[in-house]
Every structure is written in structure tokens, then in C-alpha cells.
Structure 1
Amino acid sequence: MSYAIIGFGKIGQALARAFARSGIEVSVATTRDPASFASHTAAIGPTIIPKTLAEAVKADIIFLAVRFESHPEVAKTLPNWKGKIIIDAMNTQAPLEQLDGLPSSAVVAKAFTGADLVKGFNHLAAAVLDQDPSVHGGRRVVFLASDDDRAAAETGALAEQLGFAPIKLGGLSEGGLLVHARGNSWGQLIFKDLIKFDR
């Protein structure tokens, strides 16, 4: 299984550090030339590989960590995303009315034709996501929502490898709304920093 992170802002870098802590190789791409951020990836660790967008989208599992407004541009990189899992780690302040009443993840799913989309890793602020997920003898929770059980299971397995405790919230229309940051009305689980203890 191969992995990529599209976007190298605060969330993208926090995700890259999670991969580095676990010694898992991940490609990182932005719309810029990889040479422009290669020194940053090298500082995080040897398993963080700067690539072009066209190279990075060859990965099996791809984190979207760009600004929400930029995702349609990323979606144009491939004509079809069949067989790929897209993890939507983005948030938007757009009210639901601007999104046709849909959770933002459902809007993203439409853009990435053929992909299996998982909403995940977005409910934690970048500074929290950046920390070691082992806390007080437990593991930091990441919420996952998807209409595809296989994609949710694969993403959950990756979250475990990265040291997190994945909790599945169901489909995008239910679970996606719980972790949707929108206008003045926020999902109940957005920015909740929870720890799971295995007993």
C-alpha cells in the first residue's frame, strides 16, 4: 500500500510527522515544484518524499490537506480516481446552504470521480494532530466517516499504524456531519480532542 499527502501546510506537515514517527514512507506534494519544499520534508524525516502532484496521485491512499477551495483543482489531476482511497482532512467555513445542504465530504466525493472517500483526521486542530498520539497511556482518537466499508477499514488500519485510535462514525451523510465545521453551526465532534484507553 502506498501513501501520499497533498498539501503541506500545518495539517499536511502534522500528518507527515505522524508518518515519520511511525517510519512509514509517504509522498508529499503541492502545486509547487518539489524542490521548493524538499528541505522541509528532509527535516521531518527520511521517509517523507517530496514529489510532483502527478507523481503523488499514483498512491493508493491519498490525504487531502489543501484548502477546501483548492480541492477541485487537485481532482483534475486524474480523469478517474477508481481504486483510490481519498482521505478528506479538510475543513470549510462555508455554510451548508452553499454546499447544497451536503456535508463538505459529500461535495469532495463528487469531485473525485470513482474514488472511495473517507472523511477523517480533520476534527483535530493542526497543533493537536502534530503531537504524539500516545497520551496518558491511551491513544488519541481520529473519527472516520465513509460510505465505503473497505475504505473505512483500510483507513482505520492506517490510523492504527500511525498510533491513533480510529472510531468509525458511519456514512458521510451521518458521520460526515458530526465532524463538519460549517459557518456558525459546528458538528458535535469537531475539534474534540478525545483519548481512547484499551482495557
Structure 2
Amino acid sequence: MNYAIIGFGKIGQALAQAFARSGIEVSVATTRDPESFASEAAAIGPAIIPKTLEEAVTADVIFLAVRFESHPAVAKALPNWKGKTIIDAMNTLAPLEELGGLPSSAVVAKAFTGTKLVKGFNHLVAGVLDQDPAVHGGRRVVFLASDDDGAAAEVGALAEKLGFAPIKLGGLLEGGLLVHARGNSWGHLIFKDLVKFE
């Protein structure tokens, strides 16, 4: 299983920190030349490998950490995303009315034809996401929502490897709304920093 993070802003770098802490190799990419962010990747750790977008999309599991408005351009990098798992770590301030009444994750799922999409890691701000998830004798929670139970389990296992405590919220229309950044009201779980104790 190999991993990639597309987008190397604050959230992308916070995710890279989680991989580096766990010693798990991950490719990182943007639409820019990898040399332009190689020094930032090297500063995080040797397991963070800068690549082109075309190289990064060959990974099995891909985190989307770009601006929401940029995801359609990323989706065009492959004609079909079958067999890949996409983790939607993006947020948008677009109200639900502009998204056809759907949570943003359901909109993203339509753009990435054939993929198994999991909404996750988006409810924590970058300054919290990049911290060690072992806190107060417990583990920081990440919420996951997906219409594919197998993909949710796969991402849950990865979250545990990264030190987090995954909590599954159900499908995109139910769970996705709970972590939707904005609609007529904020999702009930957005920006909630919770810790799970065993």
C-alpha cells in the first residue's frame, strides 16, 4: 500500500507531519514542480517524498488537501480513479445550496470517477492536526464518513497507524454533513478536538 498527499499547504504539511512521526513513507505533490517545495518536505522528514502530480496519483491511497475549488483540476489527472481510495480532507465555505444541497464530500465523490471516497481529517485545524495525536493519555479523534464500508475500514486502519483514534460516522449524506464546514449551519462536529480513551 502506498500513499500520497496532494496539496502541500498547512493541511498537507500537517498530514505529512503525521506520516513522518509514524515513519511511513508518503509522496507529496502540488500542481507545481516538486523542486519548489522540496526543502519544506525535507524539513519534515526523509519519509516525505516530493513528486509531480502525475506521479503522486499512482498511489493507492490519496489525501486531497488542496483548496476545494481546485479539486476538479486534480480529478482530471486520471481518466478513471477505479481501485483508488481518496481521503477528502478539504473544507469549503460554499453553502449547501451552491452544492446542490449535498455535503462537499458527495460533490468530490462525483468528480473522482470510480474512486472509493472517505471524508476524513478535515474537522481539525492544521495547528491541531500537526501535533502528536497522543494527548492526555488518549488519542486524538478523527472522524470518517464514507459510502464504502471497506474504504472506511482501510482509512480507519491507516488513521490508527498514524496514531489517531478513528470514529466512523456513516455515509457521506449523514456523516459527511456532521463534518461539513458550512451550510445553513456548521456541521456539529466541525473543529471539535476530541480525545478517545481506551
Q: Judge same fold: TM > 0.5, yes or no.
A: yes
Deviating 4+ runs (over 2 angstroms): none
1:23 counterpart residue number = 23
CA distance, structure 1, for counterparts of residue 55 and residue 144 of structure 2: 26
For residues 36-47 of structure 1, what are the structure 2 equivalents within 5 Å?
36-47=36-47
**RMSD over aligned Cα atoms:** 0.6
CA apart distance, 1:184: 5.2
The whole-number CA distance in structure 1 between the counterparts of 2:102 and 2:5 is 25
Other structure's SS at 1:192 match: coil
Alignment-derived partner of residue 161 in structure 2: 161
Deviation at 1:185, TM superposition (A): 1.1
Match of 2:100 in 1: 100
TM-score by length of 2: 0.99
Which whole-Å deviations, capped at 9, do the CAs of 1:151-178 have from their partners, x for residues lacking one?
0000000000000000000000000000
Partner residue of 1:50? 50
Matched, 1:139 2:151: no
Distance of 1:181 and 1:156 partners within structure 2: 21
Deviations 1:105-133 (A, max 9, x none): 00000000000000000000110001100
User: How many Å separate the matches in 2 of 1:140 and 1:184?
Assistant: 28
Q: Give the match's secondary structure for 1:193.
A: coil
1:69-118 CA-to-partner distances (Å, cap 9, x unmatched) read: 00000000000000000000000000000000000000000000000000
- Structure 1, unmatched stretches of 5+, are none
Name the CA distance, whole Å, in 2 between partners of 1:43 and 1:184: 40
2:71 corresponding residue in structure 1: 71
Offset at residue 180 of structure 1 (A): 0.1
Aligned to 1:182: 182
Distance 2:181 2:36 in 1: 31
Q: 1:91 maps to which residue?
A: 91
Which residue of the partner structure matches residue 7 of structure 2?
7
Corresponding residue for 1:116? 116
Query: Does 2:129 correspond to 1:129?
Result: yes
Unaligned runs of 5+ in 2: none
In 2: Cα distance, 1:138 partner to 1:151 partner: 25
Instruction: Tell me if the contact between 2:96 and 2:184 (Cα under 8 Å) persists in the aligned partners.
Output: no
